């Protein structure tokens, strides 16, 4: 089954009081275009994360985000009480020596604004256990995105098959007008000859020239090649994953045959059918850009 390049995945894992959140989304692109936003604690693992994503997703414009949410009781910046006590003693000494009265109302805000009172001093290192949990969250988000892509791919495949069937039906709808077109061309040329020359003419030579002219407008080869392309498109769809570029090339070839058929039609109803075929093909071309 083909896969779409559009997808979304998210996973959350708990590690102690910390919630590890991963989110990944992708859109269509000719190659893998990966951008990451990773919480500082996990940045040392960025190359490992990139390798994991590249191995699973292959193509697409991919945005990956890894962040943490902590319990408010542990996330709050701790107050350095020893330092606050030291600053308090210094301020009391200053008050006595300089006779500067310190109001209790202003003392607390003043102490909290002192250097390093609210600064985290501990360095947190990433443990193997935490990274194992974070890795599982990353893999789960990727799995969700891949499943999303498969579902989108199934919908695309269904639409492609409908459009291919429509083009094939329109191709068969041209056939009744081909014989009518030959008779119309013969009658028009014959009428013009009689009006212009007004005399007798070599009927054998006329038939030869008419056959030559009709052969130039013959579309049997275009019809056969287009039929082959339609069947090849179906076969490539059945081949499944990784056929997006190939399907795009086949659609281009289908377009060439439809355009040539239109230029040779020389019949109003046939040209209307060709326009409808082009419309069906254009919808295929738009969506095939989103196929892996």
Ranges of each domain in the chain? 7-74+127-150, 79-112, 153-288
pLDDT tens per residue across span 67-100: 998 765 555 667 777 777 887 788 778 777 776 6
pTM: 0.72
State yes or no: pLDDT of 225 exceeds 90. Answer: yes
279 versus 74: which is more confidently predicted? 279
3-class DSSP string for 248-287: HHHHHHHHHHHHHHHHHHCCHHHHHHHHHHHHHHHHHHHH
- Ranges 96-105, 222-231, 237-246: which has the least confidence: 96-105
CATH code of the domain occupying 7-74+127-150: 3.30.230.10
Phi-psi region of 198 (alpha: psi -120 to 50; beta: other; left: phi over 0): left
DSSP label of 201 = -
pLDDT band at 210 (very low <50, low <70, confident <90, very high): low
Identify the bridge partners of residue 32 per DSSP, sorted by sequence position: 60
Residues facing residue 18 across a β-bridge? 15, 70
Lowest mean pLDDT among 34-38, 67-71, 114-118: 114-118
CA–CA gap between residue 282 and residue 259 (Å, rounded): 12
182 alpha-carbon distance from chain centroid: 47
Quote the CA–CA distance of 207 and 10 in Å, as a whole number: 72
Query: Which DSSP state fits 292?
Result: -
Query: What are the CB-based long-range contacts (under 8 Å, 24+) for 122-128?
Result: 124/41, 126/41, 126/42, 126/44, 126/45
pLDDT of the residue at 111: 73
The residue-averaged pLDDT of 126-149 equals 95
């Amino acid at each position: 089954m083909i896969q779409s390049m559009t997808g979304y995945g998210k996973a959350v894992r708990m590690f102690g009081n910390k919630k590890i959140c991963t989110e990944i989304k992708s859109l269509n692109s000719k190659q893998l275009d990966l951008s990451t936003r990773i919480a500082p604690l996990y940045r040392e693992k960025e190359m490992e994360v990139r390798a994991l994503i590249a191995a699973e997703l292959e193509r697409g414009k991919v945005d990956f985000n890894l962040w943490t949410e902590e319990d408010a009781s542990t996330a709050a910046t701790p107050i350095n009480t020893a330092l606050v006590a030291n600053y308090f003693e210094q301020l009391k000494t200053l008050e006595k020596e300089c006779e500067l009265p310190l109001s209790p109302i202003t003392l607390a805000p003043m102490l909290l604004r002192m250097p390093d009172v609210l600064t985290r001093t501990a360095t947190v290192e990433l443990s193997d256990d935490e990274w194992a949990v974070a890795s599982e969250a990353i893999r789960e988000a990727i799995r969700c995105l891949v499943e999303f892509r498969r579902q989108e791919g199934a919908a695309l495949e269904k639409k492609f098959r409908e459009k291919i069937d429509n083009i094939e039906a329109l191709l068969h709808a041209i056939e009744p007008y081909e014989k009518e077109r030959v008779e119309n061309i013969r009658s028009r040329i014959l009428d013009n000859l009689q009006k212009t020359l007004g005399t007798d003419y070599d009927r054998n030579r006329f038939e030869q020239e008419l056959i030559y002219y009709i052969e130039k407008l013959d579309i049997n080869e275009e019809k056969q090649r287009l039929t082959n392309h339609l069947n090849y498109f179906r076969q490539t769809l059945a081949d499944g994953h990784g056929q997006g570029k190939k399907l795009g090339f086949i659609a281009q070839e289908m377009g060439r045959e439809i355009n040539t058929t239109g230029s040779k039609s020389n019949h109003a109803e046939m040209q209307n059918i060709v326009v409808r075929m082009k419309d069906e093909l254009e919808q295929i071309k738009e969506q095939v850009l989103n196929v892996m």
